[in-house]
Amino acid sequence: MTSYFHHIAPIRYEGPDSQSELAFKHYDKDRIVLGRRMEDHLRFAVCYWHNFVWTGLDPFGGATFERPWFQGGTPMELARAKADAAFEFFAKLGAPYYCFHDRDVAPEGATPRESQDNFKRIVELLAEKQQATGVKLLWGTANLFSHRRFMSGAASNPDPELFKMAALQVRDALDATLALGGENYVLWGGREGYETLLNTRLGQELDQLGRFLSMVVDYKHKIGFKGAILIEPKPREPSKHQYDFDVATVYGFLVRYGLEKEVKVNIEANHATLSGHSFEHEIAMAGALGILGSLDMNRGDPQLGWDTDQFPNNVPETALALYHVIQAGGLGSGGLNFDAKVRRQSLDAADLFHGHIGGMDVCAQGLLAAEKMIEDGRLKAAVDARYAGWETPAGQDILQGRHTLGQLADQVLERNADVAPVSGRQEVLENLVNRFCG
């Protein structure tokens, strides 16, 4: 087929004054930020599913996109055509990484063996594409939610035979991720939840999930995969309630099954807001718990209550998210994957570039604002000052368990004086952040 993106030149950095719609205004990959190249901080990835699998359909209307790899050949021929287009896009955009589900890149077969064979053949093609372009795999995963067999969950399914089907897909996807040099592996439990408790053994399903994840970790070590295993929290949709509700819930689950040292989280902005949190809250929570792994960059619509997966466009929110990433020591093997899609009326090939260019520029602006906050130091100093009492010997004695509840109570009575509260100065700090994001 004719190249789908033949009319678009590779995207370059042209600076804030550029008038081109197909150029970066802020993402200068080689710019040094806090001692590292911007590209190495952000580690951008393009997702396969929204860009090369989604047809534009929604619950009220059919496909709107007429991509050449959607029709006109056998499933495997179309999978190869899709890979051609995907890697042309990755290379022209200049994204260093990509991400995929197994069923994004290779079609489901009539039998498990046929599905496995299809996948292995396409993985060989992906390896060739990576070698030719230099694009790397940030993470792989298995689609355990689209097929009707998983309508009642995968690892949490009431039928152990379907649990086994999920195990086959994850084993093969982990093998593929290792073979392709993937740096992480993600598990998203879109169907790992329930629609009603009338037909659900909630405790048993949690135990099944714990056993499944333990087997995934064991297999990771068996094959020598050095990347991180990541869980992606989301509170609902498609299930009414999902067991990986938010970062704190995932951490409690990991502790219960002894996996808190083995598994981290891949946090998505839109999932964070669906759970009633902000993106920065979920990042800060993961950093505090020591399980921050990777990020899915997108946004939701505040007027809609579902996962709209739009490209990020809010610089202050992105700046605070990246500020907390840096404060937590960075993402390690993780990165920033755009789990975002163009709108279903954005029909042109160029629209895929516009969405990613805008998202990458917003993240670059956010990173530069975070750099200013860190170098300025006033935000951190204000927080340090607020908690300074806990750094004193008296505060450390409390944290180290050197006093009982009764002893602390007696100290208050002995002192016999009220303690005046101190202003949190929230408005001052909000104004300070806005000065760096202007």
pLDDT band at 211 (very low <50, low <70, confident <90, very high): very high
Q: Collect all residues with Cβ–Cβ distance below 8 Å to 247 and sequence separation of at least 6.
A: 233, 265, 267, 282, 285, 286, 289, 291
pLDDT band at 438 (very low <50, low <70, confident <90, very high): confident
Is residue 2 predicted with pLDDT exceeding 70?
A: no
Catalytic residue flag (residue 104): yes
For the chain, the domains span 12-376, 394-435
Structure tokens at 19: 């008038």
Domain spanning 12-376, CATH architecture: Alpha-Beta Barrel (3.20)
Identify the bridge partners of residue 248 per DSSP, sorted by sequence position.
Answer: none
Catalytic residue flag (residue 101): yes
Among 214, 213, 138, residue whose Cα is nearest residue 181:
138
CB 211 within 8 A of CB 157: no
- In the annotated binding site for Mg(2+), the residues are 232, 268, 271, 296, 307, 309, 339
- How many angstroms separate the CA atoms of 191 and 165, rounded? 14
Is residue 1 predicted with pLDDT exceeding 70?
A: no
CB 309 within 8 A of CB 50: yes
Task: Give the torsion through C-alpha atoms of 25, 26, 28, 29, to 10 deg.
Answer: -120
Average pLDDT over residues 347-356: 98
pLDDT digits (tens, 9 = 90+) for 371-425: 999 999 999 999 999 999 999 999 999 999 999 999 999 999 999 999 999 999 9
Radius of gyration of the chain (CA): 24
pTM: 0.96
Catalytic residue among 26, 101, 324, 356: 101
Catalytic residue among 104, 172, 175, 246: 104
CB 208 within 8 A of CB 160: no
- How many angstroms separate the CA atoms of 200 and 243, rounded? 13
- In the annotated binding site, the residues are 232, 268, 271, 296, 307, 309, 339
3-state SS of the chain is CCCCCCCCCCCCECCCCCCCCCCECCCCCCCEECCEEHHHHHCEEEEHHHHHCCCCCECCECCCCCCHHHCCCCHHHHHHHHHHHHHHHHHHHCCCEEEEEHHHHCCCCCCHHHHHHHHHHHHHHHHHHHHHHCCEEEEEECCCCCCHHHCCCCCCCCCHHHHHHHHHHHHHHHHHHHHCCCCEEEECCCCCEECCHHHCCHHHHHHHHHHHHHHHHHHHHHHCCCCEEEECCCCCCCCCEECCCCHHHHHHHHHHCCCCCCEEEEEEHHHHHHCCCCHHHHHHHHHHHCCEEEEECCECCCCCCCCCCECCCCHHHHHHHHHHHHHCCCCCCCCEEECCCCCCCCCCHHHHHHHHHHHHHHHHHHHHHHHHHHHHCHHHHHHHHHCHHHHCHHHHHHHCCCCCHHHHHHHHHHHCCCCCCCCCCHHHHHHHHHHHHC
- How many angstroms separate the CA atoms of 338 and 31, rounded? 21
- How many angstroms separate the CA atoms of 167 and 155, rounded? 8
Mean pLDDT score of the chain, rounded to an integer?
97
| CA geometry: angle 58, 60, 62, nearest 5 deg | 60
Residue found by looking up tokens 């699998």 in the block: 53
Torsions phi, psi for 139 (to 5 deg): -160, 155
Torsions phi, psi for 131 (to 5 deg): -60, -40
Up-side HSE of residue 70: CA atoms within 13 Å toward CB?
14
